[in-house]
């Protein structure tokens, strides 16, 4: 199996030994994106709205680097530090996806890097 690393300076650099994304077998696997502004390396605001918008901006950049867009996404996983933020994140999520919506999981976790309120990872099909 061959795999190609996807990396773009338009999204935050990996915070550890992992890739922003990997392409293999016609699919793109994006690592989770947290709301780090790639220009500053800092969190993009303290509210879940500001952070969610940055997460999706970051995901858009790694998708583009892989030759994909949000319409190509098949599966997402949303990690929240507080499920009380679900409705607000869901509303912003709906701005990026259209029917048929990707499959999705959403879980509450104890903590995320840099004190982020959410993280989102995804899998997309590379357009032919």
Residues 6 or more apart in contact with residue 11 via CB below 8 angstroms: 20, 33, 38, 58, 59, 61, 62, 65
Listed residue (87, 45, 38) closest to 62, CA to CA? 38
Q: Is 68 an annotated catalytic residue?
A: no
Residue from 57, 106, 123, 126 carrying the catalytic annotation? 106
The catalytic residue positions are: 106
């Amino acid at each position: 199996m061959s795999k190609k690393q996807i990396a773009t300076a338009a999204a935050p650099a990996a915070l550890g030994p992992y890739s922003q994304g990997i392409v293999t077998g016609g699919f793109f696997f994006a690592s989770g994106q947290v709301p780090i502004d790639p220009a500053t390396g800092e969190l993009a605001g303290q509210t879940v709205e500001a952070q969610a918008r940055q997460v999706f901006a970051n995901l858009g950049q790694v998708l583009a680097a892989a030759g994909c867009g949000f319409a190509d996404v098949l599966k997402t996983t949303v990690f929240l530090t507080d499920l009380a933020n679900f409705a607000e994140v869901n509303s912003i999520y709906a701005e990026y996806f259209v029917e048929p919506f990707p499959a999705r999981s959403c879980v509450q976790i104890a903590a995320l890097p840099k004190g982020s309120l959410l993280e989102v990872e995804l899998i997309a099909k590379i357009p032919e």
